[in-house]
Amino acid sequence: MSAIPLPQPVADAFRRQEDACRTLGSPFNAVLCGLVANDGLPAGTVHDRLADWNGVLDHGGDALPLRLTGALHFLVLSGRDDALAAVYPPNDATPDGIAEAVNGAVVHHGDFIDRFLDSPPQTNETGRSAILLPAFLRLQERFGLPFILSELGSSAGLNQNWHHYRYEYGKWGWGDLNSPVTIACEWHGDELPPTQPGVAIADSAGCDIAPIPIDTEEHRLRLKSYVWPDQPARLGRLAGALAIAAENPPSVAFATAGNWLAERLEAARPGHLHVVFHTIMWQYIPAEEQAHAQALIEGAGRKAAADAPIAWLRFEADETKGSAGLVLTTWDGSEPDGQTVPLGRGDFHGRWIDWSPQA
């Protein structure tokens, strides 16, 4: 079956995703996105949906290519398309073979893929916890208080369980050696963070505009579908994280960041350190929502005290391509307060961290 090219803005979005997948270690998805960018898709429901996409196609935006790759991966994971599964990792396939299988899937499962495209991708990448951990340990050393954790863009909430994971950085490690999740992260930087054996978590919760439920196999398959199929280490970490979540269920509210923070930050928490954190989600929320959430965090920070400090930890994309910045702001009622400290940079999926605190 022949493919019909997609409009240039849509094709360009897939071309950018092709480059990103290649950079981030997914040659299979790079080939897939390149085929869609260059050749298009067969006529029908999916082609029309993509061609008429009225959302945001620039960097970040609606992540349209990842919605499509997620839908195709779901068909494979759920056993709904044997021909498509035959060209997916760990099988080898030529670009022509991949194109034929993808085109067939788009035609035969058009209605399903169309519905799947409604939701933004949610990987809930647990590897990003390896970027956050040194910052959490730094906060533990400084304040010595139990944590209140508030995660924005929490997805399924798996990163709320960061303290149940094992981390291996080469130069050092942290966490339960028997954890079903081991995150390997290449450590760059001469300085090592404090390595207290444990931290106390008094309360943990998060919010998301499209929380990912994980209470059924179909829900868990959807979450797995957004993980790139040629990255088995990430898929293995996700399986372990889901097992931990079954014993330690995360709390994720269906809410925007601003509306949720307005209630979450309303009351002071004496005797606790309240940490608001988020990873690779800020770019996906509108500017006005960013401003609302930031104003609420900073407002709570101005009311912080020595026995009820506030921290804002974020790992987000910035003007530097190919990695994201790790930044921490803290308030404890002292002067000067609300100090922002760049802590370093990391790989989007947590494969490496360059730990270089500037203060």
**227 in helix, strand or coil?**
coil
State pLDDT tens for residues 239-267.
999 999 999 999 999 999 999 999 999 99
Number of domains in the chain: 2
- CB neighbours of residue 19 within 10 Å: 12
How large is the average pLDDT for residues 294-319?
97
Domain boundary among the residues 116, 142, 174 is at 116
How far is it, in rounded angstroms, from Cα 309 to Cα 306?
Answer: 6
Whether residues 195 and 308 fall in one domain: yes
State pLDDT tens for residues 173-201.
999 999 999 999 999 998 999 887 779 99
How far is it, in rounded angstroms, from Cα 163 to Cα 133?
Answer: 8
pLDDT band at residue 59, thresholds of 50, 70 and 90?
Answer: low
State pLDDT tens for residues 255-301.
999 999 999 999 999 999 999 999 999 988 999 999 999 999 999 99
Whether residues 82 and 135 fall in one domain: no
- CB neighbours of residue 92 within 10 Å: 8
pLDDT for residue 335:
80
- 8 Å CB contact between 311 and 140: no
Q: Is residue 183 part of a domain?
A: yes
Whether residues 85 and 178 fall in one domain: no
Residue 185 burial by Cβ neighbours in a 10 Å radius (0-12, 13-18, 19+): buried
More confident of the two residues 55 and 166: 166
Q: What is the longest distance spanned by two Cα atoms in the chain?
A: 68
How far is it, in rounded angstroms, from Cα 48 to Cα 31?
Answer: 22
Q: What is the pTM of this model?
A: 0.83
Domain boundary among the residues 116, 144, 177 is at 116
Whether residues 57 and 108 fall in one domain: yes
Is the model's pLDDT at 359 over the cut of 80? no
Whether residues 144 and 261 fall in one domain: yes
Range of the domain at 272: 126-355
How large is the average pLDDT for residues 295-318?
97
Whether residues 160 and 303 fall in one domain: yes
More confident of the two residues 101 and 217: 101
